[in-house]
Structure 1
């Protein structure tokens, strides 16, 4: 049998899914044990017990100065920034995608402009955002918006242009106005693609957030990671990185679930 036609059984599939994670954890445990045996004060690869103690200290022991549970405070602050930024980016990306994908008169100025804007490295203009919007929350949210919106708009524009012309003609024949056409024909097609695009942009959105928090913040997951790095506190950094990864994965699962629930007919919901 050709390898391309072989499919794992449910049990084998679960084992194959877990295998890379098991190998990574095993390599870390072995490396940590070797380094700690040679130097018990080594901070590069902390042991499991050290990281559990660090998580307990950050998550379940109130900070003496502020009285906050730093782990949960950082999580809530970062998630608030991320969700606001993604929400604004999704709304703007959807509007620009529909405008440039459906209306030829708007496509001429918007399509090329959004293409050029999407090529600007968002991190390169981070100092500009701090100057224009200040060092508070707005600049961090705007970095996510500027980094994500152009890519969403371009993807949704392409999806709108892929809608068969016959469908648009039939709708107009039945008396649909431009507004009705957008709401009843184009929008349902693009909402499913929007959820897929947001899934693909989650990694970039987290990158922009962590970068902004590392430079100017007083709370947040990125702020905490770059704060403790000066002490080489890998027992704090590694759990924070794992937690960020877990949050991003859960958000991806949530978007995938919503796509399947709201748009079961879409090919994007099956991805």
Structure 2
């Protein structure tokens, strides 16, 4: 049998999924053990016990100055900013995408504008956001929203243009007006794509959040990483990076489950 036609069974698939992570951990801890054996004060590749001690200090021991658990405070602050930014971007992206893809009079000016806006590097306008919105929470949320809204809107616009014209014509012959078409025909077709777009943009949203927190913040996962970097505290940085990755994966999984539960017909349509 040709290799391209061979598919792993369930146990084989699970093994193949875990294998690269196991290899990565093996390589890391082998290198860490070697470096620490040569220099016990080495900070570049901390051992598992050093990382566990650092997380225990941050997550389960009250900070002497603030009286809070810094790890969970950072997590809550970052998730709050990320959630607000994603919510604003999803709403604006859906509205702009529907307007640009379904209404020609709006699509003519909006489509080129969205294309141009999606080409602007969001991190390049971060100083402008700090000047306009200040150094508080609003500038961080706006960076996420501005960074991913044009991309979501363009994706929604493209999906709106792919809706068969026959469906729109049939609905109009039955007396549907513009609002009825959008709410009853266009919107249900685009909501699954919105969830998919959010999944695709999660990595960018986290990038913008970490960048904003690193420059101007007093808490958050990005703030903590860049705060301890001056001490080369890799025992803190690496667990924080793993935690951010886990949170992003859980958010992606949650969106995928919402898509499967709320729009089961979408998966069937793709098949």
Native 8 Å contact 1:114 1:153 kept in 2: yes
List gaps (5 residues or longer) in structure 2. Answer: none
**TM-fit CA distance, 1:267:** 3.8
Secondary structure of the residue aligned to 2:187 is: helix
Secondary structure of the residue aligned to 1:266 is: helix
Match in the other structure for 2:19: 19
Give the Cα–Cα distance (whole angstroms) in 1 for the partners of residues 182 and 23 of structure 2. Answer: 49
List gaps (5 residues or longer) in structure 1. Answer: none
Native 8 Å contact 1:97 1:153 kept in 2: yes
Native 8 Å contact 2:98 2:160 kept in 1: yes
1:172-251 counterparts in 2 under 5 A?
172-251=172-251
Secondary structure of the residue aligned to 2:265 is: coil
After superposition, what is the alpha-carbon deviation per residue over 1:160-214, rounded to whole angstroms, capped at 9, x for unaligned? 0000000110111111110000001100111000000000000000000000000
Give the Cα–Cα distance (whole angstroms) in 1 for the partners of residues 4 and 166 of structure 2. Answer: 37
Residues 1:50 and 1:270: Cα distance change in structure 2 (over 3 Å): farther
Native 8 Å contact 2:260 2:267 kept in 1: no
**TM-fit CA distance, 1:38:** 0.4
Secondary structure of the residue aligned to 1:63 is: coil
* 1:263 corresponds to 2:263: yes
Give the Cα–Cα distance (whole angstroms) in 2 for the partners of residues 30 and 268 of structure 1. Answer: 46
* 1:253 corresponds to 2:256: no
1:123-202 counterparts in 2 under 5 A?
123-202=123-202
**TM-fit CA distance, 1:5:** 1.3
TM-score if structure 1 supplies the norm length?
A: 0.99
Give the Cα–Cα distance (whole angstroms) in 2 for the partners of residues 238 and 120 of structure 1. Answer: 31
**TM-fit CA distance, 1:246:** 0.1
Count of residue correspondences:
271
